[in-house]
A and B are shown apart, each in its own frame.
Chain A
Amino acid sequence: MTNSITLSILEENMRFLPLLMLSLVVLTSTAQAQTPVAGFIKTLEGSGQIVRAEATMPARVGDALHVSDAVTTEEKSSIGIMLEDDTILSLGPNSRLELADFAFAPQEENFAVAIRLIKGSFTYMSGVIARLAPEKIRIETPDAVIAVHGTSFLIKVEEK
């Protein structure tokens, strides 16, 4: 609905196109700035990507991650991530991880970790949330759910 309206405006007012594009860009960047940072890429070997909404960009050390981002690695590549509560995650080669939810606001006692491990090999080392609210941690693979009690572990997911 919104899309078709936007389209007809575009067709009738082509001279406003630059203005419309600009406002879209501003809206998009505002929306991104409002999502708090969930973590950072801390290590990278070879190459990997961050998938955010419809965009895919090469991952670099120091890149911030936000809720709903996916991180992928290619062959012979690996990525290490540190979340804001000091949870440590890493991806081996040919892996895909989705950060479905994350909240770390001790002052408001608001905690959430939801990670989906879609394929590949991973390590997980729990952070502060595992100590304060372990029941708020949800780690899923296509096959199983993993509940955490203050721990390091490894996960391997082979696609069907």
Chain B
Amino acid sequence: MIRALLLILCLAFAGCAAKGTMVVLIEDPDGSVGQVEVSTAAGAQRLSTAGQSTSVKDSSTAPGPLRTLDQATIEKDFGQALQARPEPPETFLLYFEYGRTELTAESKPEPATILETILRRSSRDVRINGHSDTVGTREDNARLSLERAKGARDILVNKGVDPSIVQIFSHGEGNPLIPTPDETPEPRNRRVEVLVR
């Protein structure tokens, strides 16, 4: 009731509807939709479907009621910002034969695809992140992850990737693909991630 009243007051003054902050939830590139919560000292609104929006007049006023915006309205306010979004990085996963520097059969074709992607995007920013599962100490896993990342770099450089655009990182056990408790063997987490950015 109070919210409805605020909206009417706002409309009564020309232009005042535009002052403040407007937040619009949109689809992720994969088509999924997350959630955001917009809050002030006076209250909060949760957005959970694509196109949903709320407007906040100022920090002492609760966020306004949920409104679903059509594509034309979104385009008018956000067209240029949407146009400026960098293409999200493309991610490739490489798995190694257990305890060896050779890629698994499934991963063997990946380096060629990675090279193609780098060329297509004219990328100058390739990240190789080594990961481990949670078996063993954090320090050992950090070292192991770095070795995996270096192994992947060597494979890519042999394929023809320019080493000067490649950076390697070790994420150790801190960024699992499949969350597990400590000391859990999980082959899917013993991976190298290659990001073409």
Please list the residues of chain A having a beta carbon within 8 angstroms of any beta carbon in chain B.
Answer: 40, 42-45, 62, 76, 78-82, 86, 88, 90-93, 95, 105-109, 117, 121-123, 125-126, 128, 132, 141-160
Determine the chain A residues whose CB is within 8 A of the CB of B40 once the complex forms.
143-145
Closest to A46 in B: B80
B96-124 residues with Cβ-Cβ distance < 8 A to A are 124
Other than the given A146-B36, A154-B82, 6 more pairs (CB < 8 A) read A76-B80, A106-B174, A107-B172, A128-B175, A152-B29, A154-B24
Instruction: Say whether A158 contacts B81, CB under 8 Å.
Output: no
Give Cα A109 to B56, complex, Å. 34
Pairs A–B under 8 Å by Cβ, sample size 5: A91-B81, A123-B26, A128-B175, A154-B78, A159-B19
- For residue B21, CB closer than 8 A to chain A, the reply is yes
Rounded to whole Å, the gap between the CB of A87 and the closest CB of chain B is 10
Give Cα A47 to B30, complex, Å. 31
Determine the chain B residues whose CB is within 8 A of the CB of A148 once the complex forms.
34, 36
Interface segment, B4-12, B85-93, B180-188?
B85-93
Contact string, B35-67, partner A, CB cutoff 8 A, digits 1/0?
Answer: 111111000000100000000111100010000
Contact partner, B84, options A45, A108, A154, Cβ 8 Å: A45
Instruction: Say whether B89 contacts A141, CB under 8 Å.
Output: no
Give Cα A81 to B82, complex, Å. 12
Instruction: Say whether A149 contacts B36, CB under 8 Å.
Output: yes
Closest to B197 in A: A82
How many residues on chain B are close to A (CB under 8 Å)? 51
- For residue B154, CB closer than 8 A to chain A, the reply is no
Please list the residues of chain B having a beta carbon within 8 angstroms of any beta carbon in chain A.
Answer: 18-29, 33-40, 47, 56-59, 63, 74, 77-86, 88-89, 124-125, 138, 142, 145, 170-172, 174-175, 195, 197
Interface of B, helix, strand, loop or mixed by DSSP = mixed
Closest to B175 in A: A106
Determine the chain B residues whose CB is within 8 A of the CB of A122 once the complex forms.
81
Given A143-B21, A157-B21, check contact A78 B84 (CB 8 Å).
Answer: yes
Given A82-B197, A107-B170, A144-B56, check contact A43 B20 (CB 8 Å).
Answer: no
Give Cα A91 to B27, complex, Å. 18
Rounded to whole Å, the gap between the CB of A115 and the closest CB of chain B is 13
Determine the chain A residues whose CB is within 8 A of the CB of B28 once the complex forms.
125, 150-152
Contact partner, A143, options B18, B20, B34, B138, Cβ 8 Å: B20
Determine the chain A residues whose CB is within 8 A of the CB of B78 once the complex forms.
92, 121, 123, 154, 156
Instruction: Say whether A79 contacts B24, CB under 8 Å.
Output: no
Most buried by A among B29, B78, B195: B78
Give Cα A54 to B17, complex, Å. 35
Given A88-B86, A88-B88, check contact A152 B56 (CB 8 Å).
Answer: no
Most buried by A among B34, B84, B138: B84
Rounded to whole Å, the gap between the CB of A81 and the closest CB of chain B is 7
Determine the chain A residues whose CB is within 8 A of the CB of B175 once the complex forms.
106, 128, 132
